[in-house]
A and B are shown apart, each in its own frame.
Chain A
Amino acid sequence: MKFGVVVFPGSNCDRDTLYAFGDLLGAETVALWHKDTDLKGVDFVVLPGGFSYGDYLRSGAIARFSPIMDAVINHANRGGYVLGICNGFQILTEAKLVPGVLLHNESRKFISKNIYIKAATTNSLLTNQLEPQQALKIPIAHGEGNYYIGTDGLKSLQDNDQILFHYCDENGNVTAEANPNGALLNIAGVTNKNRNVFGMMPHPERASDPVLGNTDGLKILESILQTVG
């Protein structure tokens, strides 16, 4: 399986993401430039974190209209895999590839810290190798990560088992205190109905290098490779 990481001009996690998939996991990776329309034959597209086009309007609002995104949307609609992390997740919601929206954090402040998440389902490419009760320590770093969806949308999300991760405490309890940004029901990540597009606010690639003393994020990335790699 070949992974492509999209490089928007203001992406700042593109190199981290390429390093995690390529150097740490040994997958074949390629950078995809935002002005291109060619996905270079990748099977799996990653939209990395950052501030794609400065994000002065609304995170991800402009990126959604970039040339590469037409190709990414076509790829997703054909059933191809797409993962959006942080700003990538914001772009996916703007492009309507996953349901819901990401509002400003409840505190109205940017939040950068380690938080814990646990898998809400094992029925997904990202979570099928995870222990559902295990809390994973993963960094977040965002100003707009407060996941929201209307009542009908939420029902559909739950009925179709589309919630991927919940914020929890270090013992795996999903509590209000463990919710860093005010996200509805502590939702930290979701998938689409077809289960080929994934969005999450926490950064698994930042918890992958053993040098940094935490490889909880690698478990999520490995889950992908062990299933389809």
Chain B
Amino acid sequence: MKVEAQLTDVATAEKLGLLPEEFEKICSILGRIPNFNELSIYAVMWSEHCSYKNSIVWLKTLPKEGARMLAMAGEENAGLVDIGDGIACAFKIESHNHPSAIEPYQGAATGVGGINRDIFTMGARPIAQLNSLRFGKLADEKTKWILRGVVKGIGDYGNAFGVPTVGGEVFFDDCFTVNPLVNAMSVGIVEGGKTVKAISYGAGNPVFIVGSHTGKDGIHGAAFASKDITEDSAKDLPSVQVGDPFQEKLLLEASLEAIQTDAIIGMQDMGAAGIICSTSEMSAKGEAGMVIWLDKVPTRQENMKPWEILLSESQERMLIVAEKGKEQAILDVFEKWDLNCVQIGEVTDGERLKFYMHDELVADVPAESLVLGGGAPVYHREYHEPAYLKEIAAYKNEAVPQPESLGDVMDHLATHPNLASKKWVYQQYDSTVGTVNMSTNLPSDAAIVDVRGTSKALALTVDCNSRYIYADPRKGTAIAVAEAARNIVCSGGEPVAITNCLNFGNPYNPEVYWQFVGAIQGMGDACTAFGTPVTGGNVSFYNQSSYEGPVFPSPVIGMVGVLDDKSQQTTLFFKRPGDLIYVLGEMTNDLGSSQYIYSYHGIRHSSCPEFSLEAELLLHETLKRIRGKQIAESMHDVSDGGLYITLIESGFFNKLGFSISTDNAIRTDAYLFGESQSRAVVSIDPHEQPILERILNATSIPFKLLGEVTDGAIEIDGVAYGDIQSVGHKYDSALENILNQ
């Protein structure tokens, strides 16, 4: 049968986001000029979002090997690691930046939906969610609108779906005003060997679409995610999908139940690029072909065009390839949950995907030619050092003026939206559903999540200080990995593996690409050092606006750690007045890239904090030894905002203060507010002092006894700075006050 002949040209290809040479390549793959359906297929499958064409060369350099790895990065819908006791953990982080910029509520909601589907399509039940959010100038009404919409979108979707949100980060900087970053992470649990692959094989096996109807929403969403945001972007509104968490909940339960039937060959969710993406990726992996009857797809609208059905990014759908003869078991499960389960095609020999509409062949393409690792283009992009690095190189720590009043700086930092409590945000997320969140009543640096039925718990965290990465992508990204690992070690866990969400500007800008390359190198360095392989993730380029320039480079690290014995959790908060407070790691004059000099002194360009992997590893090793003796009352890492913020955060939970002294050899503002790396605060009962100091003296780690925990008063070098409850009140209400202005 002849393919529908309505031929295209290079101008149409360019309108769909393809390059002229890509159009040539498509013509040579097909041996003819593609029709519009086929061209649309290549346009989405070869978009950055689906093909990673501008990033894969560098992504391949990341460390992916590890004893606990059960799936190679990029092979499955999410990373999969062995956590022992026959249990595997599936996890992944993904961006939904562009949709959230245009329609914050649906953009963020569908981001949550998509990442959870990536987890349960593998057969794992999601048990925890995290998110990492970046917004612009908070004084702008538009930013407030985006923030409110994103938080409500994440909340409404995640709350109804019924998986607790256990952790995250929120960061504000003017560079994110047009283009916010919305990254969502999901973590699931599955019995080893019971996972499902995203694969298709076996000629004659039926192909089902399950879940929601297919509509015209989200068409070309993947292509939309692969270009800069401009003033015309609001016209792309149909590119934003609409989410229905109730359907997602049904799809979760039905999918997990269907997997129990043993009738499933493979399953993949439909996210970016919809039916064409799942049919091509599953077929390419199984080296099989497929015939699909598009008119069988349940649609929301009448008269949808073939390319609309192929590319629709309607949410809450899955593609299932079943074993012929066993399909009734699957139909029964979806019937029980009142969901569509409609056969739309079957597996064929060969490697071609043939799409029919009312018996007319409307597209005929080789699956392999569409996918990453197959025929999708791979580009080496140019890069060079950005001009702004000169300004960073010109920064001199000594030139930073001394603050007139330490108390002013303390107030400024404790109420700065980047450091103040994110209560206004996270109280809109259900954090206790599922009854596994161990951090609700016992907070730690990482979120601790019970793995029920075992002695284990997971330690989960997302980290990225975009300011550091802007100043030095390689070092800054290594710090992001280090901070994630440090959070897990401070919580009693062992770092296991990471997922990443790489948010950058336009890759065709050599300065942006230089940031990207540096970030990948830094991530590789750190992941190798900590033994935490990269399990996959997501690349989001084009995060910039036509008039603002690129956002801060933001490679967000989502790390999973394990506590083999959940009773060995270490919490971050002070326990009793009189306990001794130690800081481990080197105290320095380094003020580079701190929140303090950035917002208090207005120094926009400064160096990334000094950092060495050796010092970081020594800290982790030492913290583990202290944990081994079970003498730590609390452990809390020193990060954004410096020592002062770490101490007040340790005090809030039990309303305890601290009395400490600084060191004459180091400037007091650097001592209290500097963000030099590889440090942690540990508190102990005074009786344990000899044991602690014996451990510390046996290593080369610098440490200092800072002082002691008080019943509420805050005292530094003999000067009183109020009490923890009044600081806590300001810290808790700062963000809400700004939003209510």
Nearest-Cβ distance from residue A145 to partner chain B, whole angstroms: 13
Sample of 20 more A-B contacts, CB < 8 Å, known A19-B435, A110-B152, A112-B426? A9-B246, A9-B337, A10-B160, A10-B250, A12-B161, A12-B162, A13-B162, A13-B433, A16-B433, A16-B435, A20-B435, A114-B441, A206-B433, A209-B435, A211-B566, A212-B438, A212-B441, A213-B438, A213-B441, A214-B440
Asked whether A211 lies within 8 Å of B438 as measured between CB atoms, the reply is yes
Asked whether B155 lies within 8 Å of A110 as measured between CB atoms, the reply is yes
Asked whether A51 lies within 8 Å of B245 as measured between CB atoms, the reply is yes
A126 to B453, CA, bound (A): 28
Interface residues on A, range: 20 to 34
Interface residues on B, range: 20 to 34
Asked whether B430 lies within 8 Å of A212 as measured between CB atoms, the reply is no
- Tell me which residues across on chain B come within 8 A of A13, comparing CB atoms: 162, 433
The 10 closest A-B pairs by CB, nearest first: A12-B162, A54-B246, A213-B441, A139-B432, A141-B430, A51-B160, A16-B435, A213-B442, A214-B441, A206-B432
Residue A205, interface by CB 8 Å: yes
Residue B450, interface by CB 8 Å: yes
A50 (CB) vs chain B CBs: closest residue = B162
Nearest-Cβ distance from residue B2 to partner chain A, whole angstroms: 45
- Tell me which residues across on chain A come within 8 A of B159, comparing CB atoms: 51, 110, 112, 141, 143
Residue B338, interface by CB 8 Å: yes
Q: List 30 A-B contacts (CB under 8 A).
A: A9-B249, A9-B250, A9-B337, A9-B338, A10-B250, A12-B162, A12-B249, A13-B433, A19-B435, A49-B433, A51-B246, A54-B245, A54-B246, A56-B246, A110-B155, A111-B427, A112-B427, A114-B440, A139-B440, A141-B430, A203-B432, A206-B433, A209-B435, A212-B435, A212-B438, A212-B440, A212-B441, A212-B450, A213-B440, A214-B441
Q: A55-B160, A212-B435, A213-B441 are in contact. Are A110 and B244 (CB under 8 A)?
A: no
A24 (CB) vs chain B CBs: closest residue = B435
A217 (CB) vs chain B CBs: closest residue = B435
Residue B176, interface by CB 8 Å: no
Mask of A189-225 contacts with B, CB within 8 angstroms, 1/0: 0000000000000010110110111100000000000
Asked whether B450 lies within 8 Å of A211 as measured between CB atoms, the reply is yes
Residue B156, interface by CB 8 Å: yes
Residue A113, interface by CB 8 Å: yes
- Tell me which residues across on chain B come within 8 A of A143, comparing CB atoms: 159
Q: From residue 15 to 30 of chain A, which have CB atoms closer than 8 A to chain B?
A: 15-16, 19-20
Asked whether B428 lies within 8 Å of A110 as measured between CB atoms, the reply is yes
Residue A96, interface by CB 8 Å: no
- Tell me which residues across on chain A come within 8 A of B161, comparing CB atoms: 12
Asked whether A111 lies within 8 Å of B440 as measured between CB atoms, the reply is no
Q: From residue 157 to 171 of chain B, which have CB atoms closer than 8 A to chain A?
A: 159-162
- Tell me which residues across on chain B come within 8 A of A54, comparing CB atoms: 160, 244-246
Q: A110-B156, A112-B427, A212-B450 are in contact. Are A206 and B435 (CB under 8 A)?
A: yes
A52 (CB) vs chain B CBs: closest residue = B246
Mask of B239-251 contacts with A, CB within 8 angstroms, 1/0: 0000011100110
Nearest-Cβ distance from residue A116 to partner chain B, whole angstroms: 13
Residue A109, interface by CB 8 Å: yes
Interface residues of B (CB under 8 A from A): 152, 155-156, 159-162, 244-246, 249-250, 253, 337-338, 426-438, 440-442, 450, 452, 566
Residue A53, interface by CB 8 Å: yes
A9 to B250, CA, bound (A): 6
Asked whether A10 lies within 8 Å of B435 as measured between CB atoms, the reply is no
- Tell me which residues across on chain A come within 8 A of B432, comparing CB atoms: 112, 139, 141, 203, 206
- Tell me which residues across on chain B come within 8 A of A49, comparing CB atoms: 433
Q: Which of A12, A112, A114, A209 contacts B428 (CB 8 A)?
A: A112
- Tell me which residues across on chain A come within 8 A of B250, comparing CB atoms: 9-10
Asked whether A112 lies within 8 Å of B429 as measured between CB atoms, the reply is yes
Nearest-Cβ distance from residue B260 to partner chain A, whole angstroms: 16
Residue among B155, B159, B426, B435 with the highest chain A CB neighbour number at 10 A:
B435
